Structure formats: structure tokens, C-alpha cells
Structure 1
Amino acid sequence: MQFDTTAMPTSAPQAKRWYSHLYLQVLIAITAGVLIGHFAPQTGEALKPLGDAFIKLVKMVIAPVIFLTIVTGIAGMRDLASVGRVAAKAFTYFLFFSTLALIVGMIVANVVQPGGGLNIDPASLDASKVAEFAEKAHESTLTGFLMSIFPDTFLSSMTEGNILQVLLVSILFGIALSMIGDRGTRVLDLLNDVSIAFFKLVSIVMKAAPIGAFGAMAFTIGKYGIGSLSNLLALVATFYFTAFLFVTVVLGVVAKLCGFSIFRLIAYLKGELLLVLGTSSSESALPALIEKMERAGCPKTIVGLVVPTGYSFNLDGTNIYMTLAALFIAQACNVDLTIGQQLLLLSVAMLSSKGAAGVTGAGFITLAATLSIVPSVPVAGMALILGIDRFMSECRSLTNFIGNAVATVVVSRWENALDKEQFDAALAGTLPRVEDLPADAVAAE
């Protein structure tokens, strides 16, 4: 969906009351959720359905939004060579920065030594607590993952919740539509109109974001308690610090080289980031990210390819978590890993992260898959971090989300397809909100 800036009102829209901004509503909801969960934990746990219901609402629109974005983008371009070129550049970016995230996590874990001095006996740990994750990790082989990309039917790709299946079907249908020439014009026009309706549906669903964030945060604090962080505060603090370092330094340098500020991009996406924080799921903001990146001047085809694919292959936060957590367990259990063993661990993590992509709880499952292949570190050691994994999932999701936003801008710049004027206006906050635009200012192309 492209936004016609020429149709935008020349005068600034009337300022809305402070409480009408979605990001403030979500922030207030998160704060209220923390307070309810802390002071009334049973009530907090009982509010879990609010978060679950909102996630279901978002998942309801993810598949059609991805399908419409990619199909209309590819069919509208009618340049199939550029589609392959964009995909190749995106995967090059994903591979490099996902590997870099693993390396950064490994370096920080060796320098900070968050698990040093705990002296845990692996035999004393309750391995049954992580047996379920280990079983799922065993099932999530690379071959199984590759086979899962292919749907049983065209429609099943839209109903099973597998983003890569939706991506595959969308690309194939978009290519087919572009190859039938003028006969596909009427279909393309119809899909463009439908996409406008679906993005309006996304804006309606997002109005429930504060309720979802409130319920999810109240449940997290109510069930696990802030106090559960104290024993493993070193690991949590190290992970958040490493993720902050990766975003501000590594991605910050990438942003600088591409001519924009990482902090301005974060400010532009603040509403979506707060939603990710509240729900502990980057998927909850996927449709909104697609819409925001298109509004910021990134072409529809690039957004449609990079964002959904990045949700499975560009997991910077998950990769940092895997190496940090694996080395934390080794240090806590007094397992002295050589540099060679750590590099082996890193190599296995690179492969297993693809095998568990798209699986609920992928970070923890991927860690189990990695440790089961590298026997030096006891899988039972995962019981040490099971209680705080929920608190680290927020940081994983936030880092993954920011990484995919940066990737979208970078690939757009590599293709010389970024509308720099519109992008700068978006980051400067001078673009009017979608709900402030007249009906004829939004058009799908």
C-alpha cells in the first residue's frame, strides 16, 4: 500500500488530545498491567485471555495482509528479475547480521561471565522441566523446517499460521499474475481495493492493543513475579545490555551509513515497540510494521518480501540470547569451553535457529536444539533460566523487530527505491497519521 503524499492536507491536522495517541495508551496499559500483576498476582494471571485474544486478532489479519502486500507489489512491478534481486540482497543481509549477533553474544558472555561463580551441579537440576522443549527441538530439524514451507493446499497456507507458507504462495501468485499481462489488471485492481480494506481492518484491530498489552503484562508479572529476576539478574542485565549495544552500535552504524538515525527510526516505531514490549511478541506488530514501512517510503514489494522473511531468518535478538544463554549455562555448571567448542556452538546455533524459525517459543526451543547437539553443555541447565525466559522474551522480540525495520530500509536503499523525502518526513514526525488523512489520500498501487 503506497500513500499519495500529494493528496495530503497542506495544513497540519488539528492536534489530538494526549490520551488519544496509541503509544501512550499502550504505555499506560503496560504500567497498569505491571501494578496489577505485582499487587494482585491472581488477578493478573486471570487476565491472560485479554492478551491471548488480542494476539489471535492480529494473527487473523497477518496472512491476508502479507498476501495482498506481496501480490499487488510484484504484479504491479511486472519486473520479475528485481524480485529475485531483492530476495538475494535480503538473505545476504540476514545471514551477515544474524551471524554477527551470535558473535556479539559470544564475546559479551566471555567478557562479562554472567554465570561465573554459581557452581551449579547439573545432576541437581530438574531436567523434566525442559523435557517438553527438548522434545520440540528434536522435532525441529532443518529438513523438517524446509518441508514445512510447502503448504498442503493454497488455502491451508492462509490458515495454518506459517508465515513462510504465506510468503511462498504470495510470491508464486504475484509472479503468475504479472505473467498474464493485461488480463490480470482487473484482478490486480480488485486486490488493491481489498488491501485498503484490510489495512483499515488492521487499524481497527490495533485500537485493542492497550487491552492486549494490559492483559499480557499483568499475566507475566502475576505468574512469574518481578522477584524471580533477582537470582539471575546478572544474565538478564547482560542480555538487555548486549541487545542495547547491538541496536545502538551495530545497527546504529548501519543506519548512519544509510543516512538516517537509528534513534529516529525507533521513535517513529515507538507505538509498535511498546506493543511488542507489552505482548512479548514481535508478531503482534507485524501488520503495523508493514504499514509503517510503506508509509515511510519503502516500496511495497521490498516491504512485503523483507519483513515476513525477516521474521523467520533475521532474528538478531534470538541469536544474541542463544549464545549468551548457552555460555551462561556452561559457566554456571563449571563447563570450561574452548574457543573451538564455542565456535562449534555458534555454528550449530546458526543452523538450529533456522530449524526452529516460526515455532512458538522459538528462542527457548532453538537453545534446546543447540545444546542437544553440543553435549559439552548440559541440556538440563536450561532449567536455570526457564523461570526468567519470559522476561527475556520481551528483549528478544524488541531486538528482532528493530532489526527487521532496519533491514527493510537498508534493502530499499540498496535497490535505490527508497523515497528519501517521504522517509525523512516520517522520521521527523511531519507525516500525518493515517486516521488524519482524507479517504482519497490513501491508495494502493
Structure 2
Amino acid sequence: MSIVGTSTHASPQSKTKRLTQIVTKNLYVQVLIAMALGIVLGHFYPDIASAMKPFGDGFVKLIKMTIGLIIFFTVVSGIAGMQSFGKLGRIGGTALLYFEIVSTFALLIGIVTANIIRPGSSFNVSPEQLDASQIKQYVTAAHDGGLADFFMNMIPKTLLGAFTGDSILQVVFVSIIMGLTLGKMGDKGKPIRDLVDACSHWIFGVINMIMKFAPIGAFGAMAFTVGKFGLGSLQSLLVLIFTFYLTSAIFVFGVLGVICYRHGFSIFYVLKHFRSELFLVLATSSSDAALPALMRKLEELGCKPGTVGLVMPAGYVFNSDGTNIYITMAVLFIAQAMHVDITIWHQMVILGVATLTTKGSAGVPGAGFVSLVATIALVPEIPLVGVTMLLGIDRIISEGRALVNVIGNVVATLVISRRENEMSTQELKLALTGQTAERQA
């Protein structure tokens, strides 16, 4: 008996069709291809590639214009739906405690790695060789306001003013007040809650449309980075770049990996599940670019909207793990390069200062660099002008900073959601591996 049409080999047409479907339906594949094209263009045609910057900047601006509304609708809906306002205080307190502990670990890892590898020891730089005018704008930003101003700036001038500025914290502050008030209204507030829920679905629909332009943004940002800076001009600082990315990997797979394991899930599954958003962050060097999609995916995993709406935006302000690693490492790099003797006591002072200067810089252009300047400005033993050595590689480093910042905040949200029993360990594992979706299909 003959069997017709049972060949085990797929035809060239079916392979092409399958490949086309993979490219057209998977955002992370599109972003990867766009990044590769950007790197090629930047390497072979740097002048043309440098002109691609508006594509990356434009996409980030599209995302930023929706972040305020996304946080507002998510937080208001989540808090208004909470059965106990005590849970709100518990989640907020747990998040802040978690942020402080993990951020301190990040700062310590930066110090330890810089002491072991000593990336700046091969340099011999004196302050007279450097041009202080290059960092004038960062010095100004670093000295704008103190701790009291930071808390006062949480309060916007008007309710609408929170949505027209760059402060995520102002939006969260207004959203919490609105959510608490709406929750206390009971049945009278039901029409407003229904409207907020509908608006939440609407704004995520807008995000879905904007995300279709992510590959264009990734291409423009990556082409500009490679075309503008290249790799040849960075050879003298490659040790610091390598040390930073090595330390970041140790932090993600060591510290965050252990935290994930202790709460019943794997850091590898987290990275795989959020891969498209992480590639987007890497390409655009902006954690803001992925925030809306990250919040939506976290809710799909089982995290409650109130938890996501509180922890993720607050994490962008208080939990910058990648920035923390870079700050302490960069300070010691500058000290080593300028042959400044830094004792253990000095390093503890740097740790304490960095704990404060790395908070609240979200929304500030060049936030990581501003935090670095603010830290060194409070450590008089190290010449502030030494920061100019790092201007050329800040763009390369900022991609890693943003990436680690995002991973840290995703893990924080999942951990706090697990501690609140918003989903079981098994449910989270199934969701992260996509098995839930497969069973429902």
C-alpha cells in the first residue's frame, strides 16, 4: 500500500512561509534584525548612521507621551479595587525595603569588582589634562535641589501638571490619591471605576499600535550609537566597559537569580519571557521605552494591577540597580586613573553618598551621568573633572544600566506579587514558560 504526500521534509515554500511568520509576528525578532542592520550601517557608513538618531529619539518620545496615562489608569484601577487599604501600605513598604536592600547590594558589587579588577590602574591622568567645561551641564543638574526639594517635587503644581512634566513620582502620587478616594466612594464610584478600566484598555491599545514602530526606533538608536562612537575610539576604556558588563551579569544571575530562586521561579525564564522588551531597552538605551509593555506583561502573568502600578513606577525612581553598579565602579575607576588614594573609609563614604544620589533621577536626561557627578562632588578627595574621561563611553554604558534597571524592577514586581500570594509558584512558572497560553489555545 502506497502512502501519498507524507514526506517528512517540509517544502521550501513552507519553510519560507514559516520564517516569514516568525519575523512578522515576533517583535523581539524584528528588533534583533533592526539592531543588526543598525550595527552594519553604523560600521560601514557612520555619517549616514549618525543621522538616524531622530528615529530612536522619536520612538522613545512616543512611548513617553503615554507613560503618565498608563500609570494613572493602572494605579487608580488597582487601588480602587483593593479590598483593604492596609494592603496598599504593606505593598508600598515592602517595595521600598526591597529596593533599599537590593540597591545596596548593587552598590557593593560595583565597589568590590572595581577593587579586584582595578580598571583604571593602567591610566596616568592629571586634572590639568582634562577639560572641565564638558561636564558643566551635568554639574548644574547634579546641584539642582536637595533632599527636601526631592520630596516637595513629588507634589505637582496642578493635577494636570503631573502629566505634562517628566516626573514619574508625581504621576504615582496623584494616582494614589485618586485611587484611594475612588475606593472610598463605594457603589457611587462604580461608573468612574468602569470608565477608568475602559480607559486602561484603550491606552494599552494605543501602546500596541506604537510598539509596531519599535524596530524602526531600535534601528535608529543602534545605528547612531555605532556610527557616532564606533569601537576604535573606545579601546582605551574597554576594560571599564568589560568590567561593568561582567559585573552586571554577576548581579543579574547571582543576586537577582538567587532572589528569583528563593521565590520559586527562574531568572532565565524571566529574561526569556521579557526578551522583546529587553532588546528594545538595549537598542534605545531607555528604560522608559519598555515600561508600558512590561506593565501589561506583568499583569498577564498574574500580578495585580495595583501591585504593578505601584512597584514598577516606584522602582524606576528608587531601584536603579544598573546605575548603582556603574556609580561606585566609575568613581573608583576615576580615582585609580588619577592615582588618588582611596581608603576603606572613603569607599564607605562613597557607598553612603551613592545611596542618596542614585535616587530620584528618573526622567532627567543623562540621569546616570548626573548621579555620578553628584556622587563625586560630595567626595572632595577625587577631582570632579575626572568625570570627563567617561563622557565618550556613557552611551555604551547607559544601555547596560537601563537593561539592568529594567530587569531589577521586573524581578521586584514578581517577588512582591508572590509574597502577596497574587499567584502560586506553579501558576507563575506556567505563565513564564508560556504553558498556560498553550493549554488555553
Q: If the TM-score is normalised by the length of the shorter chain, which range does it land in?
A: over 0.9
- Equivalent position to 1:195, from 190, 200, 214: 200
- Paired with 1:351 and 1:175, the residues of 2 have a C-alpha distance of 29
- Equivalent position to 1:283, from 288, 292, 304: 288
- Paired with 2:109 and 2:331, the residues of 1 have a C-alpha distance of 13
How do residues 32-43 of structure 1 correspond to structure 2 at under 5 angstroms?
A: 32-43=37-48
Q: 1:191 to 1:419 in 2, by over 3 A?
A: farther
- Paired with 1:327 and 1:291, the residues of 2 have a C-alpha distance of 39
- Paired with 1:200 and 1:351, the residues of 2 have a C-alpha distance of 37
* 1:230 equivalent in alignment to 2:228: no
Query: Which residue in 2 is equivalent to 1:75?
Result: 80
How do residues 368-379 of structure 1 correspond to structure 2 at under 5 angstroms?
A: 368-379=373-384
Query: Which residue in 1 is equivalent to 2:412?
Result: 407
* 1:348 equivalent in alignment to 2:353: yes
**Greater RCO (CA < 8 Å, at least 6 residues apart):** 1
Give secondary structure in 2 for the equivalent of 1:139: coil
- Paired with 1:213 and 1:432, the residues of 2 have a C-alpha distance of 28
* 1:30 equivalent in alignment to 2:43: no
The letter of the residue matching 2:208 is S
Decide whether the 8 Å contact of 2:106 with 2:321 is kept in 1. yes
Decide whether the 8 Å contact of 2:167 with 2:362 is kept in 1. no
- Equivalent position to 2:22, from 18, 24, 37: 18
How do residues 48-197 of structure 1 correspond to structure 2 at under 5 angstroms?
A: 48-197=53-202
Divergent runs of 4+, >4 A? none
Q: 1:72 to 1:143 in 2, by over 3 A?
A: same
- Equivalent position to 1:358, from 355, 358, 363: 363
Give secondary structure in 1 for the equivalent of 2:435: coil
Cα-to-partner distance string for 1:98-117 (whole Å, 9 max, x where unaligned): 11100110000001100002
Decide whether the 8 Å contact of 1:37 with 1:219 is kept in 2. yes
Decide whether the 8 Å contact of 2:265 with 2:428 is kept in 1. no
- Equivalent position to 1:249, from 239, 248, 254: 254
Structure 1 stretch displaced more, 326-335 or 192-201: 192-201
Q: Report which of the two structures shows the higher radius of gyration computed on alpha carbons.
A: 2
Identity rate of aligned residues, in percent? 49
- Paired with 1:324 and 1:221, the residues of 2 have a C-alpha distance of 24
- Equivalent position to 2:399, from 378, 394, 402: 394
Cα-to-partner distance string for 1:36-57 (whole Å, 9 max, x where unaligned): 1121111111111111110111
The letter of the residue matching 2:22 is W
Decide whether the 8 Å contact of 1:282 with 1:398 is kept in 2. yes
The letter of the residue matching 2:341 is D
- Paired with 2:404 and 2:360, the residues of 1 have a C-alpha distance of 20
- Paired with 1:388 and 1:73, the residues of 2 have a C-alpha distance of 41
The letter of the residue matching 1:185 is K
Decide whether the 8 Å contact of 1:106 with 1:327 is kept in 2. yes
Q: 1:140 to 1:419 in 2, by over 3 A?
A: farther
Structure 1 stretch displaced more, 114-123 or 204-213: 114-123
Give secondary structure in 2 for the equivalent of 1:207: helix
The letter of the residue matching 1:301 is G
Decide whether the 8 Å contact of 2:59 with 2:213 is kept in 1. yes
Decide whether the 8 Å contact of 1:145 with 1:356 is kept in 2. no
Q: 1:28 to 1:140 in 2, by over 3 A?
A: farther
The letter of the residue matching 1:59 is K
Report how far residue 431 of structure 1 moved: 4.5
Query: Which residue in 1 is equivalent to 2:327?
Result: 322
The letter of the residue matching 1:91 is L
* 1:271 equivalent in alignment to 2:269: no
* 1:46 equivalent in alignment to 2:51: yes
Decide whether the 8 Å contact of 2:327 with 2:371 is kept in 1. yes
Give secondary structure in 2 for the equivalent of 1:216: helix
* 1:425 equivalent in alignment to 2:441: no
- Paired with 2:221 and 2:426, the residues of 1 have a C-alpha distance of 38
Over the aligned positions, Cα root-mean-square deviation in angstroms equals 1.6
- Paired with 1:89 and 1:355, the residues of 2 have a C-alpha distance of 18
- Paired with 2:201 and 2:215, the residues of 1 have a C-alpha distance of 24
Decide whether the 8 Å contact of 1:216 with 1:278 is kept in 2. yes
The letter of the residue matching 2:369 is F
Cα-to-partner distance string for 1:163-202 (whole Å, 9 max, x where unaligned): 1000000000000000111100111011111111111111
Structure 1: stretches of 5+ with no match in the other structure: 1-13, 439-445
Cα-to-partner distance string for 1:376-405 (whole Å, 9 max, x where unaligned): 111111111110010000100000000000
Structure 1 stretch displaced more, 14-23 or 208-217: 14-23
Q: 1:273 to 1:355 in 2, by over 3 A?
A: closer
Number of aligned residue pairs: 422
- Equivalent position to 1:307, from 305, 312, 319: 312
Report how far residue 356 of structure 1 moved: 3.0
The letter of the residue matching 1:99 is T
Cα-to-partner distance string for 1:120-164 (whole Å, 9 max, x where unaligned): 112211111112111111114222222211101101111112110
The letter of the residue matching 2:198 is D
Structure 2: stretches of 5+ with no match in the other structure: 1-16
